Structure 1
Protein backbone atom coordinates (compact mmCIF):
# COMPACT_ATOMS: atom_id res chain seq x y z
CA UNK A 1 0.00 0.00 0.00
CA UNK A 2 2.70 2.45 -1.04
CA UNK A 3 0.16 5.01 -2.26
CA UNK A 4 -2.29 4.80 0.62
CA UNK A 5 -4.25 8.04 0.90
CA UNK A 6 -2.93 9.42 -2.40
CA UNK A 7 -5.09 10.72 -5.26
CA UNK A 8 -3.91 10.11 -8.83
CA UNK A 9 -5.10 11.26 -12.24
CA UNK A 10 -4.10 8.95 -15.10
CA UNK A 11 -4.70 9.96 -18.72
CA UNK A 12 -5.01 7.33 -21.45
CA UNK A 13 -6.39 5.01 -18.78
CA UNK A 14 -8.73 2.96 -20.97
CA UNK A 15 -6.05 0.53 -22.14
CA UNK A 16 -2.36 -0.28 -22.35
CA UNK A 17 0.10 1.55 -20.11
CA UNK A 18 -2.48 3.96 -18.70
CA UNK A 19 -4.82 1.17 -17.61
CA UNK A 20 -1.93 -0.81 -16.11
CA UNK A 21 -0.88 2.26 -14.09
CA UNK A 22 -4.45 2.87 -12.90
CA UNK A 23 -4.79 -0.75 -11.78
CA UNK A 24 -1.44 -0.84 -10.00
CA UNK A 25 -1.99 2.49 -8.26
CA UNK A 26 -5.42 1.35 -7.03
CA UNK A 27 -3.91 -1.87 -5.71
CA UNK A 28 -1.35 0.22 -3.84
CA UNK A 29 -4.06 2.25 -2.07
CA UNK A 30 -4.57 5.29 -4.32
CA UNK A 31 -7.86 6.80 -5.43
CA UNK A 32 -7.52 6.85 -9.22
CA UNK A 33 -9.28 9.18 -11.61
CA UNK A 34 -8.85 7.81 -15.11
CA UNK A 35 -9.44 9.72 -18.33
CA UNK A 36 -9.43 8.69 -21.97
CA UNK A 37 -11.12 9.49 -25.26
CA UNK A 38 -12.54 5.94 -25.16
CA UNK A 39 -14.36 4.11 -22.39
CA UNK A 40 -12.34 1.28 -20.84
CA UNK A 41 -13.49 -2.22 -21.66
CA UNK A 42 -12.92 -3.22 -18.05
CA UNK A 43 -12.36 -0.81 -15.14
CA UNK A 44 -13.33 -3.38 -12.51
CA UNK A 45 -9.80 -4.11 -11.26
CA UNK A 46 -9.46 -0.42 -10.41
CA UNK A 47 -12.78 0.01 -8.63
CA UNK A 48 -12.58 -3.32 -6.81
CA UNK A 49 -9.25 -2.31 -5.29
CA UNK A 50 -10.24 1.35 -4.81
CA UNK A 51 -14.03 1.87 -4.73
CA UNK A 52 -13.74 5.69 -4.72
CA UNK A 53 -11.95 5.65 -8.08
CA UNK A 54 -13.81 6.88 -11.16
CA UNK A 55 -13.43 7.46 -14.88
CA UNK A 56 -14.17 10.42 -17.17
CA UNK A 57 -14.23 10.46 -20.97
CA UNK A 58 -12.33 13.40 -22.46
CA UNK A 59 -9.94 14.49 -25.20
CA UNK A 60 -6.55 15.48 -23.73
CA UNK A 61 -6.29 18.31 -26.27
CA UNK A 62 -9.33 19.94 -24.62
CA UNK A 63 -7.87 22.11 -21.89
CA UNK A 64 -11.27 23.07 -20.46
CA UNK A 65 -12.24 19.41 -20.06
CA UNK A 66 -8.93 18.61 -18.36
CA UNK A 67 -9.34 21.58 -16.00
CA UNK A 68 -12.86 20.44 -15.14
CA UNK A 69 -11.70 16.95 -14.19
CA UNK A 70 -8.82 18.32 -12.12
CA UNK A 71 -11.18 20.73 -10.34
CA UNK A 72 -13.71 17.97 -9.67
CA UNK A 73 -10.97 15.69 -8.38
CA UNK A 74 -9.63 18.31 -5.97
CA UNK A 75 -13.12 19.23 -4.74
CA UNK A 76 -14.20 15.61 -4.30
CA UNK A 77 -11.04 14.17 -2.78
CA UNK A 78 -9.31 17.22 -1.34
CA UNK A 79 -6.03 16.90 -3.22
CA UNK A 80 -4.17 15.68 -6.31
CA UNK A 81 -0.94 13.87 -5.48
CA UNK A 82 -0.02 12.14 -8.74
CA UNK A 83 -0.45 12.73 -12.45
CA UNK A 84 0.43 10.14 -15.11
CA UNK A 85 0.18 11.32 -18.73
CA UNK A 86 -0.20 8.06 -20.64
CA UNK A 87 -2.50 9.32 -23.42
CA UNK A 88 -0.80 9.21 -26.78
CA UNK A 89 -0.93 8.17 -30.41
CA UNK A 90 1.60 6.78 -32.86
CA UNK A 91 1.93 8.07 -36.40
CA UNK A 92 4.66 9.41 -38.61
CA UNK A 93 6.68 9.02 -41.73
CA UNK A 94 9.65 10.83 -43.25
CA UNK A 95 9.25 14.61 -43.20
CA UNK A 96 8.78 14.79 -46.96
CA UNK A 97 5.95 12.24 -46.80
CA UNK A 98 3.93 13.01 -43.66
CA UNK A 99 1.01 15.35 -44.25
CA UNK A 100 0.43 18.40 -42.10
CA UNK A 101 -2.74 17.07 -40.51
CA UNK A 102 -1.01 13.88 -39.32
CA UNK A 103 1.88 15.93 -37.90
CA UNK A 104 -0.53 18.24 -36.05
CA UNK A 105 -2.52 15.33 -34.62
CA UNK A 106 0.55 13.64 -33.13
CA UNK A 107 1.99 16.86 -31.69
CA UNK A 108 -1.39 17.97 -30.35
CA UNK A 109 -2.14 14.72 -28.53
CA UNK A 110 1.32 13.65 -27.40
CA UNK A 111 2.92 17.01 -26.57
CA UNK A 112 0.16 19.59 -26.19
CA UNK A 113 -2.02 17.03 -24.41
CA UNK A 114 0.79 16.41 -21.92
CA UNK A 115 1.21 20.17 -21.42
CA UNK A 116 -2.51 20.64 -20.77
CA UNK A 117 -2.61 17.67 -18.38
CA UNK A 118 0.25 19.09 -16.33
CA UNK A 119 -1.19 22.60 -16.37
CA UNK A 120 -4.55 21.33 -15.08
CA UNK A 121 -3.09 19.94 -11.83
CA UNK A 122 -0.44 22.53 -11.00
CA UNK A 123 -2.62 24.97 -9.05
CA UNK A 124 -3.71 22.19 -6.69
CA UNK A 125 -0.20 20.78 -6.33
CA UNK A 126 1.26 24.24 -5.69
CA UNK A 127 -1.37 24.94 -3.02
CA UNK A 128 -0.59 21.69 -1.19
CA UNK A 129 3.18 22.08 -1.83
CA UNK A 130 3.57 18.53 -3.09
CA UNK A 131 2.98 16.32 -6.09
CA UNK A 132 4.52 13.80 -8.46
CA UNK A 133 4.10 14.33 -12.21
CA UNK A 134 4.99 11.33 -14.36
CA UNK A 135 4.95 11.86 -18.09
CA UNK A 136 5.06 8.98 -20.54
CA UNK A 137 7.60 9.71 -23.26
CA UNK A 138 9.33 6.94 -25.23
CA UNK A 139 12.71 5.55 -26.19
CA UNK A 140 11.84 7.29 -29.46
CA UNK A 141 12.08 10.56 -27.55
CA UNK A 142 15.69 9.68 -26.64
CA UNK A 143 16.87 8.30 -29.98
CA UNK A 144 15.49 8.89 -33.44
CA UNK A 145 13.71 6.08 -35.24
CA UNK A 146 13.50 5.60 -38.98
CA UNK A 147 10.30 7.18 -40.31
CA UNK A 148 9.29 8.50 -36.89
CA UNK A 149 9.49 12.26 -37.44
CA UNK A 150 6.30 13.43 -35.70
CA UNK A 151 6.34 10.80 -32.95
CA UNK A 152 10.04 11.36 -32.22
CA UNK A 153 9.53 15.12 -32.07
CA UNK A 154 6.52 14.86 -29.79
CA UNK A 155 8.16 12.46 -27.34
CA UNK A 156 11.45 14.37 -27.30
CA UNK A 157 9.42 17.47 -26.48
CA UNK A 158 7.74 15.63 -23.60
CA UNK A 159 11.14 14.89 -22.04
CA UNK A 160 12.28 18.51 -22.11
CA UNK A 161 8.89 19.77 -20.93
CA UNK A 162 9.16 17.35 -18.00
CA UNK A 163 12.61 18.65 -17.11
CA UNK A 164 11.37 22.23 -17.33
CA UNK A 165 8.54 21.48 -14.88
CA UNK A 166 11.02 19.94 -12.44
CA UNK A 167 13.11 23.13 -12.58
CA UNK A 168 10.23 25.56 -12.20
CA UNK A 169 8.23 23.78 -9.50
CA UNK A 170 10.73 21.67 -7.55
CA UNK A 171 10.99 24.23 -4.73
CA UNK A 172 7.24 23.85 -4.23
CA UNK A 173 7.60 20.15 -3.50
CA UNK A 174 6.52 19.03 -6.97
CA UNK A 175 8.59 16.35 -8.67
CA UNK A 176 8.45 15.76 -12.43
CA UNK A 177 9.92 12.74 -14.21
CA UNK A 178 9.48 11.04 -17.59
CA UNK A 179 9.23 7.33 -18.21
CA UNK A 180 10.56 6.31 -21.63
CA UNK A 181 9.04 2.93 -22.45
CA UNK A 182 10.60 0.70 -25.03
CA UNK A 183 8.40 -1.38 -27.28
CA UNK A 184 5.50 -2.47 -25.09
CA UNK A 185 2.83 -5.05 -25.90
CA UNK A 186 -0.14 -2.67 -26.19
CA UNK A 187 -2.99 -2.14 -28.67
CA UNK A 188 -1.16 0.90 -30.10
CA UNK A 189 1.96 -1.16 -30.76
CA UNK A 190 0.00 -3.91 -32.48
CA UNK A 191 -1.77 -1.34 -34.62
CA UNK A 192 1.62 -0.26 -35.95
CA UNK A 193 3.68 -3.45 -35.97
CA UNK A 194 1.30 -6.20 -36.99
CA UNK A 195 1.52 -5.13 -40.63
CA UNK A 196 5.34 -5.00 -40.47
CA UNK A 197 6.56 -8.36 -39.11
CA UNK A 198 10.18 -7.75 -40.16
CA UNK A 199 10.25 -4.49 -38.19
CA UNK A 200 8.75 -6.23 -35.17
CA UNK A 201 11.35 -9.01 -35.33
CA UNK A 202 14.16 -6.45 -35.58
CA UNK A 203 12.84 -4.53 -32.58
CA UNK A 204 12.71 -7.69 -30.50
CA UNK A 205 16.24 -8.58 -31.62
CA UNK A 206 17.48 -5.14 -30.54
CA UNK A 207 15.65 -5.38 -27.20
CA UNK A 208 18.39 -7.01 -25.18
CA UNK A 209 16.10 -9.18 -23.07
CA UNK A 210 14.65 -10.61 -26.31
CA UNK A 211 10.96 -9.77 -25.96
CA UNK A 212 8.42 -6.96 -25.94
CA UNK A 213 7.73 -5.25 -22.64
CA UNK A 214 4.51 -5.55 -20.65
CA UNK A 215 2.33 -2.60 -19.59
CA UNK A 216 2.63 -3.82 -16.01
CA UNK A 217 6.40 -3.31 -16.17
CA UNK A 218 5.90 0.36 -17.00
CA UNK A 219 3.34 0.62 -14.20
CA UNK A 220 5.97 -0.68 -11.78
CA UNK A 221 8.33 2.11 -12.74
CA UNK A 222 5.52 4.65 -12.46
CA UNK A 223 4.72 3.34 -8.98
CA UNK A 224 8.30 3.98 -7.88
CA UNK A 225 8.25 7.55 -9.24
CA UNK A 226 4.86 8.21 -7.64
CA UNK A 227 5.90 6.88 -4.25
CA UNK A 228 7.91 8.43 -1.42
CA UNK A 229 10.77 6.08 -2.37
CA UNK A 230 11.48 8.54 -5.20
CA UNK A 231 11.37 11.64 -2.99
CA UNK A 232 14.81 12.79 -4.25
CA UNK A 233 14.19 11.91 -7.92
CA UNK A 234 13.10 14.69 -10.25
CA UNK A 235 13.90 15.95 -13.74
CA UNK A 236 14.85 12.48 -14.94
CA UNK A 237 13.95 10.45 -18.02
CA UNK A 238 13.89 6.76 -17.10
CA UNK A 239 14.19 4.29 -19.97
CA UNK A 240 12.20 1.11 -19.23
CA UNK A 241 13.08 -0.63 -22.43
CA UNK A 242 14.62 -4.06 -21.91
CA UNK A 243 17.99 -2.62 -22.89
CA UNK A 244 16.87 -1.25 -26.27
CA UNK A 245 18.80 2.01 -25.82
CA UNK A 246 21.88 0.34 -24.29
CA UNK A 247 23.56 0.05 -27.68
CA UNK A 248 23.58 -2.07 -30.81
CA UNK A 249 24.20 -5.74 -31.45
CA UNK A 250 26.49 -6.74 -34.31
CA UNK A 251 26.86 -10.47 -33.66
CA UNK A 252 30.31 -10.25 -32.04
CA UNK A 253 29.45 -12.17 -28.86
CA UNK A 254 27.96 -14.97 -30.97
CA UNK A 255 31.23 -15.23 -32.88
CA UNK A 256 33.04 -15.46 -29.54
CA UNK A 257 30.76 -18.28 -28.39
CA UNK A 258 29.06 -16.38 -25.58
CA UNK A 259 25.51 -17.05 -26.76
Structure 2
Protein backbone atom coordinates (compact mmCIF):
# COMPACT_ATOMS: atom_id res chain seq x y z
CA UNK A 1 0.00 0.00 0.00
CA UNK A 2 2.93 2.32 0.63
CA UNK A 3 4.23 1.81 -2.88
CA UNK A 4 0.77 2.30 -4.38
CA UNK A 5 0.37 5.51 -2.39
CA UNK A 6 3.67 6.90 -3.67
CA UNK A 7 2.65 6.15 -7.25
CA UNK A 8 -0.79 7.71 -6.78
CA UNK A 9 0.78 10.93 -5.50
CA UNK A 10 3.09 10.95 -8.54
CA UNK A 11 0.13 10.43 -10.88
CA UNK A 12 -1.75 13.24 -9.11
CA UNK A 13 0.93 15.78 -10.06
CA UNK A 14 3.15 16.35 -7.02
CA UNK A 15 6.47 17.98 -7.88
CA UNK A 16 8.62 15.84 -5.62
CA UNK A 17 8.34 12.61 -3.70
CA UNK A 18 10.34 11.15 -0.81
CA UNK A 19 10.00 7.38 -0.48
CA UNK A 20 11.03 6.06 2.92
CA UNK A 21 11.24 2.44 3.99
CA UNK A 22 13.22 0.28 6.39
CA UNK A 23 14.11 -1.65 3.22
CA UNK A 24 16.20 0.89 1.30
CA UNK A 25 16.17 -1.11 -1.93
CA UNK A 26 12.38 -1.21 -1.90
CA UNK A 27 12.25 2.56 -1.40
CA UNK A 28 14.65 3.07 -4.31
CA UNK A 29 12.56 0.88 -6.61
CA UNK A 30 9.40 2.80 -5.75
CA UNK A 31 11.11 6.16 -6.23
CA UNK A 32 12.32 5.07 -9.66
CA UNK A 33 8.97 3.63 -10.69
CA UNK A 34 7.24 6.86 -9.67
CA UNK A 35 9.24 8.74 -12.30
CA UNK A 36 7.56 6.66 -14.98
CA UNK A 37 4.02 7.62 -13.96
CA UNK A 38 4.57 11.19 -12.72
CA UNK A 39 2.26 13.83 -14.18
CA UNK A 40 4.52 16.79 -13.31
CA UNK A 41 7.24 17.55 -15.86
CA UNK A 42 9.54 18.79 -13.06
CA UNK A 43 9.04 15.67 -10.95
CA UNK A 44 11.87 14.40 -8.75
CA UNK A 45 11.92 11.45 -6.35
CA UNK A 46 14.42 10.20 -3.80
CA UNK A 47 14.64 7.24 -1.44
CA UNK A 48 15.63 7.26 2.23
CA UNK A 49 16.08 4.36 4.63
CA UNK A 50 14.28 4.87 7.93
CA UNK A 51 13.20 2.76 10.90
CA UNK A 52 10.00 4.41 12.12
CA UNK A 53 10.47 2.97 15.61
CA UNK A 54 13.68 4.99 16.02
CA UNK A 55 12.94 8.61 16.95
CA UNK A 56 16.29 10.04 15.90
CA UNK A 57 16.09 8.20 12.59
CA UNK A 58 12.65 9.65 11.91
CA UNK A 59 13.85 13.17 12.72
CA UNK A 60 16.84 12.76 10.40
CA UNK A 61 14.55 11.50 7.62
CA UNK A 62 12.16 14.45 7.90
CA UNK A 63 15.06 16.93 8.10
CA UNK A 64 16.57 15.40 4.96
CA UNK A 65 13.30 15.77 3.07
CA UNK A 66 13.02 19.44 4.02
CA UNK A 67 16.69 20.08 3.20
CA UNK A 68 16.24 18.62 -0.28
CA UNK A 69 12.89 20.12 -1.28
CA UNK A 70 12.35 23.09 1.05
CA UNK A 71 8.98 22.04 2.47
CA UNK A 72 6.62 19.10 3.01
CA UNK A 73 3.05 19.49 1.78
CA UNK A 74 1.68 15.95 2.07
CA UNK A 75 2.65 13.09 4.35
CA UNK A 76 1.28 9.55 4.14
CA UNK A 77 2.41 7.32 7.00
CA UNK A 78 1.81 3.88 5.52
CA UNK A 79 3.66 1.33 7.63
CA UNK A 80 3.17 -0.99 10.56
CA UNK A 81 3.36 -4.54 11.87
CA UNK A 82 0.83 -7.24 12.76
CA UNK A 83 3.30 -9.69 14.21
CA UNK A 84 4.45 -13.08 12.97
CA UNK A 85 1.52 -15.16 14.19
CA UNK A 86 -1.89 -14.96 15.76
CA UNK A 87 -2.15 -15.39 19.52
CA UNK A 88 -5.01 -15.17 21.96
CA UNK A 89 -4.95 -12.07 24.13
CA UNK A 90 -3.74 -13.79 27.31
CA UNK A 91 -1.13 -15.79 25.39
CA UNK A 92 0.57 -12.71 23.95
CA UNK A 93 4.12 -12.29 25.33
CA UNK A 94 4.82 -8.87 26.82
CA UNK A 95 7.82 -8.44 24.56
CA UNK A 96 5.75 -8.98 21.43
CA UNK A 97 3.02 -6.66 22.73
CA UNK A 98 5.54 -3.88 23.37
CA UNK A 99 7.42 -4.50 20.12
CA UNK A 100 4.33 -4.03 17.96
CA UNK A 101 3.32 -1.04 20.06
CA UNK A 102 6.75 0.53 19.49
CA UNK A 103 6.22 0.37 15.73
CA UNK A 104 2.50 1.03 15.36
CA UNK A 105 2.07 3.67 18.07
CA UNK A 106 5.47 5.14 18.91
CA UNK A 107 6.54 5.11 15.27
CA UNK A 108 3.41 6.95 14.15
CA UNK A 109 3.94 9.42 17.01
CA UNK A 110 7.52 10.13 15.91
CA UNK A 111 6.45 10.60 12.28
CA UNK A 112 3.61 12.96 13.13
CA UNK A 113 5.72 14.88 15.65
CA UNK A 114 8.51 15.76 13.24
CA UNK A 115 6.25 16.20 10.21
CA UNK A 116 4.19 18.71 12.19
CA UNK A 117 7.31 20.53 13.41
CA UNK A 118 8.51 20.84 9.80
CA UNK A 119 5.13 22.07 8.56
CA UNK A 120 4.83 24.65 11.35
CA UNK A 121 7.95 26.39 10.01
CA UNK A 122 6.73 26.71 6.43
CA UNK A 123 4.43 29.30 4.88
CA UNK A 124 0.83 28.46 4.11
CA UNK A 125 0.52 27.42 0.47
CA UNK A 126 -2.21 29.16 -1.50
CA UNK A 127 -4.13 27.26 -4.18
CA UNK A 128 -6.91 28.28 -6.60
CA UNK A 129 -9.31 27.17 -3.84
CA UNK A 130 -7.91 29.58 -1.25
CA UNK A 131 -10.20 32.42 -0.16
CA UNK A 132 -10.90 34.66 2.83
CA UNK A 133 -13.17 31.98 4.26
CA UNK A 134 -11.11 29.01 3.07
CA UNK A 135 -7.56 29.79 4.21
CA UNK A 136 -4.42 28.29 2.74
CA UNK A 137 -2.91 25.28 4.51
CA UNK A 138 0.58 24.38 5.66
CA UNK A 139 0.18 20.68 5.01
CA UNK A 140 -1.74 17.44 5.32
CA UNK A 141 -0.85 14.23 7.17
CA UNK A 142 -2.61 10.90 6.65
CA UNK A 143 -1.99 8.05 9.07
CA UNK A 144 -2.77 4.58 7.77
CA UNK A 145 -4.71 2.83 10.50
CA UNK A 146 -6.94 -0.20 9.89
CA UNK A 147 -10.51 -1.42 9.99
CA UNK A 148 -9.15 -3.20 13.08
CA UNK A 149 -9.43 0.22 14.74
CA UNK A 150 -13.19 -0.27 15.06
CA UNK A 151 -13.40 -4.07 15.45
CA UNK A 152 -11.14 -6.73 16.97
CA UNK A 153 -9.06 -9.09 14.84
CA UNK A 154 -9.19 -12.63 16.31
CA UNK A 155 -5.76 -13.55 17.64
CA UNK A 156 -4.48 -10.06 16.93
CA UNK A 157 -4.74 -8.25 20.26
CA UNK A 158 -1.28 -6.68 20.03
CA UNK A 159 -2.14 -5.26 16.60
CA UNK A 160 -5.76 -4.32 17.32
CA UNK A 161 -5.05 -2.12 20.32
CA UNK A 162 -2.43 -0.15 18.40
CA UNK A 163 -4.92 0.69 15.66
CA UNK A 164 -7.48 1.95 18.16
CA UNK A 165 -4.64 4.04 19.62
CA UNK A 166 -3.64 5.43 16.23
CA UNK A 167 -7.13 6.87 15.81
CA UNK A 168 -6.79 8.64 19.14
CA UNK A 169 -3.31 9.85 18.22
CA UNK A 170 -4.68 11.27 14.96
CA UNK A 171 -7.47 13.13 16.74
CA UNK A 172 -5.13 14.51 19.42
CA UNK A 173 -2.63 15.77 16.85
CA UNK A 174 -5.39 17.26 14.70
CA UNK A 175 -6.92 19.01 17.70
CA UNK A 176 -3.65 20.62 18.74
CA UNK A 177 -2.37 21.65 15.32
CA UNK A 178 -5.40 22.24 13.10
CA UNK A 179 -5.36 25.98 13.83
CA UNK A 180 -1.81 26.04 12.43
CA UNK A 181 -3.17 25.03 9.03
CA UNK A 182 -2.14 21.38 9.35
CA UNK A 183 -4.84 18.79 8.64
CA UNK A 184 -4.34 15.33 10.12
CA UNK A 185 -6.65 12.40 9.32
CA UNK A 186 -6.54 8.60 9.28
CA UNK A 187 -7.51 6.05 6.64
CA UNK A 188 -8.75 2.67 7.89
CA UNK A 189 -8.38 0.06 5.13
CA UNK A 190 -10.02 -3.33 5.17
CA UNK A 191 -8.46 -6.48 3.78
CA UNK A 192 -6.32 -5.48 0.80
CA UNK A 193 -4.75 -7.75 -1.81
CA UNK A 194 -1.07 -7.32 -1.03
CA UNK A 195 1.82 -9.83 -0.74
CA UNK A 196 1.47 -9.43 3.01
CA UNK A 197 -2.14 -10.58 2.94
CA UNK A 198 -1.18 -13.86 1.28
CA UNK A 199 1.28 -14.58 4.09
CA UNK A 200 -0.97 -13.21 6.84
CA UNK A 201 -0.76 -15.35 9.99
CA UNK A 202 -3.33 -18.14 9.71
CA UNK A 203 -4.18 -17.36 6.07
CA UNK A 204 -6.09 -20.08 4.23
CA UNK A 205 -8.54 -20.37 1.30
CA UNK A 206 -11.33 -21.02 3.78
CA UNK A 207 -10.41 -17.93 5.77
CA UNK A 208 -10.26 -15.81 2.63
CA UNK A 209 -13.71 -16.96 1.59
CA UNK A 210 -15.08 -16.13 5.04
CA UNK A 211 -13.70 -12.60 4.70
CA UNK A 212 -15.21 -12.21 1.23
CA UNK A 213 -18.60 -13.47 2.44
CA UNK A 214 -18.59 -10.80 5.17
CA UNK A 215 -17.64 -8.03 2.76
CA UNK A 216 -20.49 -6.08 1.15
CA UNK A 217 -18.56 -5.80 -2.14
CA UNK A 218 -17.47 -9.47 -1.91
CA UNK A 219 -13.90 -8.73 -2.90
CA UNK A 220 -10.59 -7.60 -1.46
CA UNK A 221 -9.38 -4.05 -2.03
CA UNK A 222 -6.67 -3.33 -4.55
CA UNK A 223 -3.73 -1.39 -3.03
CA UNK A 224 -4.39 1.47 -5.42
CA UNK A 225 -7.91 1.90 -4.06
CA UNK A 226 -6.47 2.60 -0.61
CA UNK A 227 -3.76 4.80 -2.13
CA UNK A 228 -6.27 6.85 -4.11
CA UNK A 229 -8.31 7.41 -0.95
CA UNK A 230 -5.19 8.73 0.79
CA UNK A 231 -4.44 11.13 -2.06
CA UNK A 232 -8.08 12.23 -2.18
CA UNK A 233 -8.15 13.04 1.54
CA UNK A 234 -4.81 14.88 1.25
CA UNK A 235 -6.14 17.24 -1.41
CA UNK A 236 -6.94 20.91 -0.67
CA UNK A 237 -10.41 20.03 -1.98
CA UNK A 238 -10.80 18.17 1.32
CA UNK A 239 -9.93 21.24 3.37
CA UNK A 240 -12.66 20.91 6.04
CA UNK A 241 -11.89 17.33 7.12
CA UNK A 242 -9.70 17.07 10.19
CA UNK A 243 -9.22 14.46 12.89
CA UNK A 244 -11.35 11.98 10.97
CA UNK A 245 -10.87 8.22 10.77
CA UNK A 246 -12.25 7.10 7.41
CA UNK A 247 -13.10 3.45 6.73
CA UNK A 248 -12.20 2.16 3.27
CA UNK A 249 -13.13 -1.46 3.83
CA UNK A 250 -15.63 -2.56 1.19
CA UNK A 251 -18.33 -2.70 3.83
CA UNK A 252 -16.52 -5.18 6.07
CA UNK A 253 -17.67 -3.38 9.22
CA UNK A 254 -21.13 -2.21 8.13
CA UNK A 255 -23.12 -5.01 9.72
CA UNK A 256 -22.83 -8.10 11.89
CA UNK A 257 -25.11 -10.07 9.55
CA UNK A 258 -24.45 -11.17 5.98
CA UNK A 259 -26.85 -11.78 3.16
TM-score (norm 1): 0.86
Which is further off, 184-193 or 133-142? Answer: 184-193
Aligned to 1:42: 29
Q: Contact (CA 8 Å) 1:18, 1:86: kept in 2 or not?
A: yes
Which is further off, 44-53 or 174-183? Answer: 44-53
Please tell me whether residue 113 in structure 1 is matched to residue 101 in structure 2: no
- The whole-number CA distance in structure 1 between the counterparts of 2:64 and 2:156 is 37
Aligned to 1:23: 7
Please tell me whether residue 204 in structure 1 is matched to residue 196 in structure 2: no
Deviation at 1:242, TM superposition (A): 0.4
Flag the 1:66–1:250 CA change in 2: closer, same or farther, 3 A. Answer: closer
Which contiguous aligned blocks of 4+ residues in structure 1 show a shift greater than 4 angstroms? none
Flag the 1:246–1:195 CA change in 2: closer, same or farther, 3 A. Answer: closer
Please tell me whether residue 248 in structure 1 is matched to residue 256 in structure 2: yes
Matching of residues 61-210 of structure 1 within 5 Å: 61-91=53-83, 92-128=86-122, 129=124, 130-192=138-200, 195-210=203-218
- The whole-number CA distance in structure 2 between the counterparts of 1:124 and 1:146 is 38
SS of residue paired to 1:65: helix
Deviation at 1:198, TM superposition (A): 2.2
Aligned to 1:4: none
Per-residue displacement from partner, 1:100-125 (whole Å, max 9, x unpaired)?
Answer: 22212211111111111111211121
CA-based RMSD? 1.6
- The whole-number CA distance in structure 2 between the counterparts of 1:223 and 1:53 is 17
Deviation at 1:127, TM superposition (A): 1.7
SS of residue paired to 2:29: coil
Which is further off, 123-132 or 227-236? Answer: 123-132
Give 5+ residue unaligned stretches, structure 1.
1-16, 252-259
TM-score (norm 2): 0.86
Give 5+ residue unaligned stretches, structure 2.
125-137
Aligned to 1:257: none
- The whole-number CA distance in structure 2 between the counterparts of 1:123 and 1:238 is 24
- The whole-number CA distance in structure 1 between the counterparts of 2:90 and 2:202 is 24
